[in-house]
Amino acid sequence: MSDSTSPNDAKRYDLIVVGAGSAGFSAAITAAENGARAALIGHGTIGGTCVNVGCVPSKTMIRAAEAIYTARAAKRFDGLAGEACVADWGRLIAAKDDLVRELRQKKYVDLLSSYDAIAYIEGKARLADGGVFIDDALIAAPKIVLATGARPKVPPIPGLENIRFLTSTTLLALETLPKSLIVIGGGFIGAELAQMMARMGVAVTLVCRSRLLPQTEPEVSDALAEVFRADGVRLLCGVAYDACRKDDTGVTVCVKESGDLVELKAEKLLIATGRAPNTERLGLEEAGVTLDKRGAIVVNDHMRTSKEGVYAAGDVTDKDQFVYMAAYGAKLAAKNALNGDRLAYDNRTMPWVVFTDPQVSGVGLSEAAAKAAGHDVKISVLPLGQVPRALAARDTRGLIKLVADAKTDRLLGAQILAPEGADSIQTAALALKYNMTAAELGETIFPYLTTVEGLKLAAQGFGMDITKLSCCAG
């Protein structure tokens, strides 16, 4: 669908939204629901990162890899045996692409016809007085929301410019499964994709400058690193990237580990060192829109930029880089742009998830962040071996860590490393949102033989020895 009326009809739109991904659609739909007329400007494939090259394709491939692992892990039960492998990589990729096309059509393209107040316009937008230019045509509106997203970030490693390296986008489009892979980056994306590829039968080496998932608690990072090694992933953490080059086998990456130069060889190289905001060619500098060191748009708690009338949301900003927070921020941006800056961005109880196996999830403050904020901190760390659900499943990989204020007993944060543990983090988020104490969480009734029961046990662990409880005595 495209706009059939002259774009030069001044003040025809109440709001212009630049970017047709999750954040852009959220802003445009919010505007329409608030009685406004919005111009939604898209460039490239409609739907943005999440549905096309991010969340949807990666998570279905991760689930496929988990199916392989689950079959092989059947031997953890006495009397069982199982095996699985990639039988046809091409069919697996094709099925992933079919899912992407289906969701893009249903959740983006088909939605446009449901909103008469949204005009979809394709083109490259550039900020201008009173609106944006697309080519030489002015699209006029008093307010603008920028939601142009981000792309894979490429680090300045000597020699990288001469290599056809993979990104999170191109890895999921490979026509053949490589025999070996080096992954540079141990953050959310690098960790998920490294484990996925290892379970697909690829010899994976992951290198990172810090530790695996440096955003997480050290206990979580260390425990997940053990899981990765058990899965066959070679980990080199705390290294410096020196150089890379093409060779007869594919690629050589040179890193410095404890001062020693280490050469790593593989068929393919994946760069997973974060995301870079799409701010180029928008005319931001000329318009007076402030950017941070990453090149991201700086917004205040009302999602307003330094330019009057211009708001921004999603991965293009300096806010949280999660698709659901992009949609949330975009909704705030549209409402504030249309109705005044009454709503403020609040991420204090924002849950997050890393789709490794075990899954990593968290909410609130880490132990270090709580101390930095001035809290007198107490912690409880519960190994998954103390959770009945994990014992019954013969899978005790993981732990639960709670952080609380020692003076008030108020819960400050939680992190869970557990198979399907992501489904439990919202309980912790609600506990933080409603200012529960550790004692109150520990006294709450939880269903037996569930993973989420581990939150109750971890809360009780602040004041008692959990090992001395019978199965249901908590």
Question: Binding-site residues, please?
Answer: 59, 185-192, 274, 315
> What tokens were used for 345?
């961005």
CA gyration radius, the chain: 24
Q: Under a CB-based contact definition with an 8 Å cutoff, are residues 269 and 251 in contact?
A: yes
> What tokens were used for 241?
């990237």
- What distance lies between CA 285 and its chain's CA centroid? 28
Q: Under a CB-based contact definition with an 8 Å cutoff, are residues 365 and 413 in contact?
A: yes
How far is CA 241 from each of CA 170, 251, 356, 385, 397, rounded to the nearest angstrom?
22, 14, 24, 37, 31
Query: What residue type is 286 in one-letter code?
Result: E
Binding site residue list for FAD: 59, 315
Largest CA distance in the chain: 75
Query: What residue type is 354 in one-letter code?
Result: V
Binding site residue list for NAD(+): 185-192, 274
- What distance lies between CA 351 and its chain's CA centroid? 11
Check the CA dihedral 127-130-134-136 and report its sign: negative
The continuous run of DSSP H or E covering 400 comes out as strand 399-405
How far is CA 259 from each of CA 205, 239, 264, 455, rounded to the nearest angstrom?
19, 9, 15, 42
The continuous run of DSSP H or E covering 134 comes out as strand 131-134
Instruction: Count CB neighbours of 340 within 10 A.
Output: 9
Q: Under a CB-based contact definition with an 8 Å cutoff, are residues 291 and 170 in contact?
A: no
Instruction: Count CB neighbours of 176 within 10 A.
Output: 9
Check the CA dihedral 17-22-27-33 and report its sign: positive
